[in-house]
Structure 1
Amino acid sequence: MNINLGNTIKLIRENKGLTQAYISDKILTQGNYSKFENLNLDIGGASLIAILNKLELSLEEFLFIKNNFTITERNSIIHKFHSLTYNDRKGLINLLNDIEKYSRRKNDFLIESIEKICKSLLIFIKTKDIENARIGINSIWTHLSKRNHLYISDIYLLNSILFFFPLQTGREIIKYLLRGIDKYKNFKDIEKMKINCLLNFSIFLIKNREYKDALIYIENAISMCKLYKYYSKITVCYIRKGICLNQINRECKSGLFWINKGFNLLKEMDETDLIIQLKDEIERLNYK
């Protein structure tokens, strides 16, 4: 039994001014509910979710409250990984240090996969040897490719390792990713995740000089950014659109138009860090 579970529920219920009878109605008998709050009865997951619905709490918010209004050590690692820029050497090292301190990382596929990805990214940053960097994360794709259904954590993992693979494997991964994402239609922040996948695959295609194909994914991302008003993301789309147009037709000036439009919008939004990152991206790819 988790000794804090019932106590936390009781404190929230009392703070909201709700009765045991209201919370337990059609879930548990009031007597059993009282035993649960007083740590004398375990309840099943379905009952817990039903109680949280009565309390108007998501499971995520409840766990945050239960952990004294902080995220757990494990969730902190996951959150940092989701927020990480993959060429951020310092951020990768800090995240690996957090993972090293996390005592329960063994036999945790997600945390162990994040650790492998961070190490592979650092190898690539240091050596630029993508085949050597790929060795550490091949097992992640092998494992996830056998699943009938991708979960949100799987989508984050695959999106982060996409560019390590050869072109044909990358095409397989993006199709697999987009099918998985489509099952989560209307789920929290899934549109942003899809845009991230489209943009990651676009830069993967650009690096492989598949500019016309990249443009298709970029235009799709632009449509989504406009629909959901993701303005910082649309600037990335515009700049990569310009890169593709420049490479498709060197004589055409429209590519420079889109690059300038993206950077001008970033300046208006005072996105200094993103401006530096995208200028570095253009420089590294020799698309001046």
Structure 2
Amino acid sequence: MITTFGTTYKRLREAKNITMQKAANQIVSKSFLSRFERNLTNISFAKLYALLLNINVSVAEFIFIDNVYHHRHQAFYFDDTKDYLDQITKLTHQQLINDYFKKWQENQSTYNYFNYLKQKHLTRTEHLTPTEIHEVSNFLFNIETWTHYEIRLYMSTMDVFPAPTVYALTKQLLHNGEITLNVDWNHQADFTYILLKSALLASYQHDLEDAVYFSDQVAQTIDNEQYLYEKTELHFIHGLIYLQKNKTALGNQTINEVFSIFKQLDSPNLLRLYQQRLKKFQAWQH
């Protein structure tokens, strides 16, 4: 199957003012590169990788740009971590549900089936059935090396699982996905999101050991100031942990520090969200 990689490569090469001769240097002939750039021939991954090095473009960037140029949905794109979707986004997700369901019916591929379940859950218009939830967890538990696909599938569906399953899957992610942690910033952000959500869940459930474990893992992951919001959320979770340890004064002080940050930054929605989180934590105690 001929891809669109050739025309995308040409656009990038020309945008960088790199001649065909320089781009092809010691990799392929100029005539072969010309055919490739007109989408008349395929190319091996090894040669494409070498050609990309000659124009200073990474493979990840190239695939992303190729999809953008040709108006294709990003297979691993997780557009939001909000707990709601606006109407336009819902319509987009519904189109994706229909598309993945149709593709799954046509070829019965696991990839399309779990994308269908993921999108169905994200719209909140349909609940995943117990059988579907079991299929997702069983699939993830049987993956030895988690890559972008498995991480995003878990991110999208982790709130359907009971707490013990979340703890187990997150620990499996740490063990089986660590190799991909430093692929790019998005991978690190995904890890951080999952760890924070797991730590928060453990705090709600008053599962102190797991709350401490996941919060410690977060602290090791967010090692620079790019993660200021995540550090604020972690500080809040630390406050909940102090309360669980009966360090009431320290816990209240820590949580009030988070509230103060949101007040200072004029972020009433975040302040309200975290006040609700505190109430949820307190409700479990009663």
Q: Which category describes the TM-score, using the shorter chain as reference length? A: 0.7 to 0.9
Q: What is the RMSD computed on CA atoms of the aligned residues?
A: 3.3
- In 1: Cα distance, 2:57 partner to 2:209 partner: 46
Q: TM-score, normalised by structure 1?
A: 0.79
CA contact (8 A) 1:120 1:134 kept: no
Change (3 A) 1:261 1:108: farther
**What does residue 34 of structure 1 align with?**
34
Count, aligned residues: 278
1:170-204 CA distance string (max 9 Å, x none): 33212210013321243202332222222111122
CA contact (8 A) 2:93 2:123 kept: no
The unaligned stretches of length 5 or more in structure 2 are none
**What does residue 141 of structure 1 align with?**
137
Percentage of identical aligned residues = 19
- In 1: Cα distance, 2:146 partner to 2:239 partner: 33
Instruction: State yes or no: 1:245 paired with 2:242.
Output: yes
Following superposition, the deviation at residue 235 of structure 1 comes to 1.2
**What does residue 20 of structure 1 align with?**
20
- In 2: Cα distance, 1:126 partner to 1:253 partner: 43
1:146-179 CA distance string (max 9 Å, x none): 2221112201222443343344433321221001
**What does residue 45 of structure 2 align with?**
45
Secondary structure class of the residue paired with 1:83? coil
- In 1: Cα distance, 2:5 partner to 2:123 partner: 40
CA contact (8 A) 1:49 1:59 kept: yes
How does 1:166-177 map onto structure 2 within 5 Å?
Answer: 166-177=162-173
One-letter identity of the residue aligned with 2:252: L
Change (3 A) 1:61 1:143: same
**What does residue 253 of structure 2 align with?**
257
Change (3 A) 1:185 1:16: same
**What does residue 81 of structure 2 align with?**
84
One-letter identity of the residue aligned with 2:198: F
- In 1: Cα distance, 2:276 partner to 2:129 partner: 21
**What does residue 113 of structure 1 align with?**
114
- In 1: Cα distance, 2:4 partner to 2:85 partner: 38
Instruction: State yes or no: 1:200 paired with 2:201.
Output: no
Following superposition, the deviation at residue 18 of structure 1 comes to 1.8
- In 2: Cα distance, 1:278 partner to 1:134 partner: 30
Instruction: State yes or no: 1:278 paired with 2:274.
Output: yes
- In 2: Cα distance, 1:262 partner to 1:110 partner: 40
1:223-280 CA distance string (max 9 Å, x none): 543545411111111112212222331x621111111111222333444433332223
One-letter identity of the residue aligned with 2:95: D
Secondary structure class of the residue paired with 2:239? helix
Instruction: State yes or no: 1:165 paired with 2:154.
Output: no
CA contact (8 A) 2:9 2:37 kept: yes
Instruction: State yes or no: 1:183 paired with 2:202.
Output: no
One-letter identity of the residue aligned with 1:116: L
